[in-house]
Amino acid sequence: MKQEQFVSRYQPEWQALEAWLEQRAHLGRRRRARAPVDPALPVDAEFPQRYRRLCQQLALARQRGYSPQLVEHLQQLMQRGHTLLYRTPAFRWRGVLEFLLADFPQLVRSQATVMWVALALFAVPLVGSFVAVQLRPDLVHLLMDNARLAQVERMYDPSSPNLGRDSGTDWMMFGYYIMNNISIGLRTFASGLLAGVGTVLVLLFNGITIGTVAGHLQHVGHGDPFWRFVVGHGAFELTAIVIAGGAGLQLGLRLVAPGRKRRLDALVEGGRIGARLCLGIAAMLLVAAFIEAFWSSIASVPAWGKYSVAAVLWTLVLLWLWRGGRGGAHAD
């Protein structure tokens, strides 16, 4: 095929592709997906196929020894397409906000049964161990040794300038809380692979531990600084642990009772749901770590200030999980 015939046959494709690339570049500069789009140009879904055809045409032009000007033009067009096709997708804050504000609470509500079970497995041992330590203070020694008890009492000493920690700057503790909280959340979820038994044990252990510590501090007269410390960030942290527990339970349930699905397919579905839940859990624990590091540890704030802020935070979290995404599409 002569060059003139080659150009005549494929030039409309090149022109359409070049115009489409110009349009995409214009949209990128404006950062708006709502800009006017020419309906005569190729749709986005056609771009990979058109790019492959361009690469084939460039190879033919080189093989047949067509003019350097034509080869250079196709080469430049191909490079522009390659840059667009294989570039890292732009980070979109709008998608992140839509997931956190709507999709995540919808997903939590779609797993309501396991979430309520997780709440019971966490809250009942917490309250029970707290009451038990009030009635039998020596029970705390079954869970904690004397050195650990002394450290906890020192952290919540009413005379301490910081609540909930012995030392460390706010930023250092912020990093520590992130690592610690997220590791607990991921462990609670991932242990669901042990047929859900692992998640049950993690929830029970965390509930008993928190309840025992709270009960002991209340008994020795350190209850006020303890409650002032935990009541704020607990809205995000404790709720996130329960959600992580629900995510792990649904994973274990799909492993034990896959229903009519193949066990592997059910497990993959549970893992997909759990992974999306873990994204929201990580965000909640990040917020909890920030509050814990920069607000909860301030001993100078009076109790009424801490409890007022905590009431607002708990109300926002519960409203978000209850109402977030209502009226939108149901999350898978």
- Give the rounded distance of the alpha carbon of 285 from its chain centre: 9
Contact 137, 129 (CB under 8 A): no
Contact 166, 151 (CB under 8 A): yes
The rounded mean pLDDT for the chain is 86
**Planar angle of CA 330, 323, 274, nearest 5 degrees:** 50
pLDDT of 328 strictly over 60: no
Comparing CA positions, the residue from 306, 304, 279 lying closest to residue 292 is: 306
pLDDT of 93 strictly over 60: yes
pLDDT class for 90, splitting at 50, 70, 90? Answer: low
Which of 56-65, 166-175, 306-315 shows the lowest mean pLDDT across its residues?
166-175
CA dihedral over 93, 94, 97, 99, signed as positive or negative: negative
Which of 46-50, 226-230, 242-246, 308-312 shows the lowest mean pLDDT across its residues?
46-50
pLDDT of 305 strictly over 90: yes
Mean pLDDT of the region 182-203: 91
Predicted pLDDT of residue 166: 62
Predicted pLDDT of residue 239: 96
Other residues' Cβ atoms within 10 Å of the Cβ of residue 44: 10
Contact residues for 292 (Cβ-Cβ < 8 A; gap 6+): 164, 173, 174, 177, 232, 233, 237
